[in-house]
Amino acid sequence: MSERLSAATHDDEPDAPPSKTPARCTWAYSAGDAMPAYHDEEWGKPCHDSRDLFERLCLEGLQAGLSWSTILNKRERLRTVFHEFEPERVAAMDDEVPVLMADPGIIRNRRKIEAIIHNAQLVNTMKTVGESFDSYLWSFVDGKVRVNRPADASAIPPSNPTSTAMSKAMKTRGFKFVGPTIMYAFMQSVGMVNDHVQGCFLCPQNG
């Protein structure tokens, strides 16, 4: 989730989690029911589905400057207007930008909306030439999950050398909203890195 998500952008995060089981990363207790479910069911679990990977990339780009709870609260509407984040369909949405900008149920930021469509076109191009989006992204970690077991949220960096390298490579390809911090949060989201803190029931204990 990176420091930007677990601390910096979660201004609604409580000082301490409520007494409940199971124990989770502190940020997962904030902003109602959506956050615990996201933490338990998605965050840090390896994802290899190209559509899901594209959705996570879009959501992380949309989150820049906003709280993650805002994104989760708008996620279902975003899925609807962006055709479940199917890259091939999103790639053909250039003419729909004015309609999207008028939709109060999504993040109405023209640069971010245009970036989603543009990035979909790049992902679609990769597919047409036989290049796997999944294989490309996971190549930055050699296809292996990196387990960090941070002591607490303060030990989680906002970016790392791998996210910086991924950002640079993707920018070279033309991708937008893929800065090092965004890409580290993406890596956490799709399980390339496991940053569940010690004490969280999802933190790997061995190996």
- How many other C-beta atoms are found inside a 10 Å radius of the C-beta of residue 92? 13
Is 68 catalytic? The answer is yes
Q: Kindly name the residue from 3, 43, 60, 184 that is annotated as catalytic.
A: 60
Structural tokens at position 75: 């996620």
- The percent of the chain in helix, strand and coil, each rounded to the nearest 5, is 55, 0, 40
Residue 4 carries which DSSP code? Answer: I
Is 96 catalytic? The answer is no
Is 29 catalytic? The answer is no
Q: Kindly name the residue from 38, 43, 138, 184 that is annotated as catalytic.
A: 38
Residue 147 carries which DSSP code? Answer: E
Q: Kindly name the residue from 27, 43, 68, 184 that is annotated as catalytic.
A: 68
- How many other C-beta atoms are found inside a 10 Å radius of the C-beta of residue 154? 10
CA dihedral of 59, 171, 101, 62, whole degrees rounded to 10: 20
Catalytically active residues are 38, 60, 68
